[in-house]
Chains A and B, each alone.
Chain A
């Protein structure tokens, strides 16, 4: 099995021999054409006397560590840079790629390839991207010690590689991304918090590329998980206003407002202009509040019903608001003038009869704050009364929004 493996460090500077057994040069680089085949080494670039030659995979008869590359054809063409080529030494080695299964950014030390014999010719396929100490050893001693020695030495070090299938190359240039058939679809499947960790490790250009390409919902989720507010801002600023608006629309209104308030006014206006009218109004309203007040912390995603409503009414109200259910744990009642009158823990609905009045299920004391209440006071209330949600009312006592425990946690973590 091990005989069928070839490391890129070994392929580099391997001699290339023509039909008559004459050495025509050494391998300088190898390239894939991802649009044609996802893992096959399609060209070997050989440096001979002056210009580099490109050898197609079907011009190779045999590949072995002992004899090098043996060709099956005489006619070789000079190498021209081709934008559809992913060159290993130039584009992959020493660059950062995303390990989709391990959910982290890694740097490529070496590439493990498999030699496939099919009777007619030997073909190389990229199997793994090598990271870790073992591949560092190969790189450091490449060309200094004979490959056989290096193979023997490295046995004492455990391998550390990721399968090529789960390696995602990062390419900031959109045109080149198309030509190299690179997609970020795999990243959309990741947990947003993991994706956020990954983009935090990348440079600004790569970050922008990822947020610009993945779907707005995944982008919004990941963006709210990015811990450094400055980085959130710079990501949003780097995107086209339409794309930024799409992402902001997908975010919870309070988070969107927090984020937009950090931007320069001109930029945030541009983004707001591109947004749909419903989320835009909500976000605009929230933007009016100072960040360190209850108004700045709250979001406007809540369910409120009229005073006289029954449990059945509540259930049908939920049916119209499925997207809110995931984070809902309190229900609010308002009177005829939309003033907050009661808060009902959701769990109480389960044990109540369908025709029971919601009012009877309400918590004994109604704890609420006004929009201009200080942030510190809000966190204090959460702690004192062990709250999960806290309703926020405006100066007339009308329900304006809700602060949830996760808002408080973010505030506390930033201190």
Chain B
């Protein structure tokens, strides 16, 4: 019996030693853009889109699992592996697009910070510079361990969406029904929304971040089974949060009058008639999600680029030793936050552009991932099984199709 308890304690300790990367990556998937997508879906179509969350979870799990497996087995980041197997020029191009795409993503996150705090009557000329400085300071002055702890803590705040979902008192019976019942309306708006929801589920930066974080954490092939549990739990958590966002907007906005919303803060305002708390929690959640993603995106970008191109990188390095890492990191924050303060900056176009860039990048990233994970020289016994390969290739093909469809729609809309 004592032996059993000892074993259990050992396994529990190992589990907590690997918690972090998978959880954080999955949760950050619900950034300000994600929250807007889900809010808009709930506000316009109510409970109907809920069924997409199940396939979204599956897609997330399949892609995230592969990255964390590669990280644990090879001990190298995704951009490292792409560099080693596909050469410098491809890596350089890939990283160039990644920087541009993530730069526009960072803008979107700081826009989220600005609009969420404006709900609390804080001017963006105060909130954005402060937030930018806090983000910069956190990473430059912190260590990886402390930063990860703060990130994990930020994950807890997503519970605000769950509470505000309850406060709105939605129709739970309908919510449950449509979570498992696929509904397809043949109207362009609905189809566009579905493509948007699934198409934005995986972003290229997530794959890079997750794998690098697994490596930084020092997860080994032996502990990998625990890491996989973490990834799966994280993906489910993400969908649970998305579920409550949709339900809150369905209950508060759709049930009153179905309409299109322009940004996530409008969704928060829509919750106001259902109590000050629902509104406050929803807005606080938006702020948390935006600033959280604003922390991770620049960091992950600087990491991937420096790793892939062979520059020194890491929060534990001193400024003098990793100048390119810190410059790139600072540049992303300064530009990302700076443009929010420029009056009449074409932010919406920028966010659309980021969607297009992500869409161009994603097929390459996913295909490289599948090629890499099937290399026996790299993965040994950890290569994909035949069944898993079938599923993952199918997923990748569908995801590429959806993403390209999204790019098509976006480009048409941009004219």
Contact B75 A202 (CB under 8 A): yes
Residue B220 interfacial (CB < 8 Å): yes
B88-107: contact bitstring with A at CB < 8 Å (1 yes, 0 no)? 11001000000000000000
Nearest residue (CB) in B for A95 is: B84
Instruction: Name which residue of chain B comes closest to A415, CB basis.
Output: B145
Verify if A363 is at the interface (C-beta below 8 Å from B).
Answer: no
CA distance A228 to B83 in the complex (A): 26
Q: In B217-233, which residues have CB < 8 Å from any A CB?
A: 218, 220-222
CB pair A234–B88 under 8 Å, yes or no, is no
Closest to B312 in A: A104
Residues B89 and A234 in contact, CB atoms below 8 Å apart: no
Which of chain A's residues have a CB closer than 8 A to the CB of B74? 203-204
Residues on B with C-beta less than 8 A from A264 are: 10
A140 CA to B96 CA in the complex, in Å?
A: 12
Tell me which residues across on chain A come within 8 A of B312, comparing CB atoms: 104
- Complex partner residue of A204 from B10, B89, B220, B309, CB under 8 angstroms: B220
Q: Map CB proximity to A onto B63-95 as digits: 1 under 8 Å, 0 otherwise.
A: 000000000001110000001100111001000
Q: Which residue from chain B places its CB closest to the CB of A230 in the assembled complex?
A: B218
A359 at the interface (CB under 8 A from B): no
In terms of DSSP, what is the predominant structure of the interface of chain A?
mixed
> Assuming the A-B contacts A109-B310, A230-B17, are A136 and B220 also in contact, with contact meaning beta carbons closer than 8 angstroms in the complex?
no
Q: Measured between C-beta atoms, what is the minimum distance from B362 to chain A in Å?
A: 23
**Is B218 a contact of A234 with CB atoms below 8 Å?**
yes
Cross-interface CB contact of B88 among A140, A228, A237, cutoff 8 Å: A140
Answer yes or no: A139 CB below 8 A from chain B CBs: yes
Known A109-B88, A140-B92, A202-B75; contact A234-B83, beta-carbon cutoff 8 A: no
A234 engages B222 (CB within 8 Å): yes
B138 to chain A, nearest CB (A): 19
In the complex, what's the smallest C-beta–C-beta distance from B67 to chain A, in angstroms?
16
- In the bound assembly, the distance between CA atoms of A95 and B10 in angstroms comes to 36
Interface string of B304-315 (1 = CB under 8 A from A): 000001101000
B218/A140 in contact, CB under 8 A = no
Whether the Cβ atoms of A136 and B309 lie closer than 8 Å is: yes
Name which of A131, A142, A203 has the most chain B CB atoms within 10 A of its CB: A203
* Alpha-carbon distance A228/B217, docked complex (angstroms): 9
Q: Assess whether A94 is in contact with B92, with CB atoms less than 8 Å apart.
A: no
What chain A residues lie within 8 Å of B84 (beta carbons)? Answer: 94-95
Q: Would B17 and A237 count as touching, CB distance under 8 A?
A: no
Contact of A230 among B10, B88, B220, B309 (CB under 8 A): B220
Q: Which residues of A contact B83 (CB under 8 A)?
A: 94, 107
A sample of 16 inter-chain contacts (CB < 8 A) reads A93-B87, A94-B83, A94-B88, A104-B312, A109-B88, A131-B310, A136-B309, A142-B89, A207-B75, A228-B218, A230-B17, A230-B220, A231-B218, A234-B218, A234-B222, A264-B10
Q: Which chain B residues have a beta carbon within 8 Å of chain A's beta carbons?
A: 10, 17, 74-76, 83-84, 87-89, 92, 218, 220-222, 309-310, 312
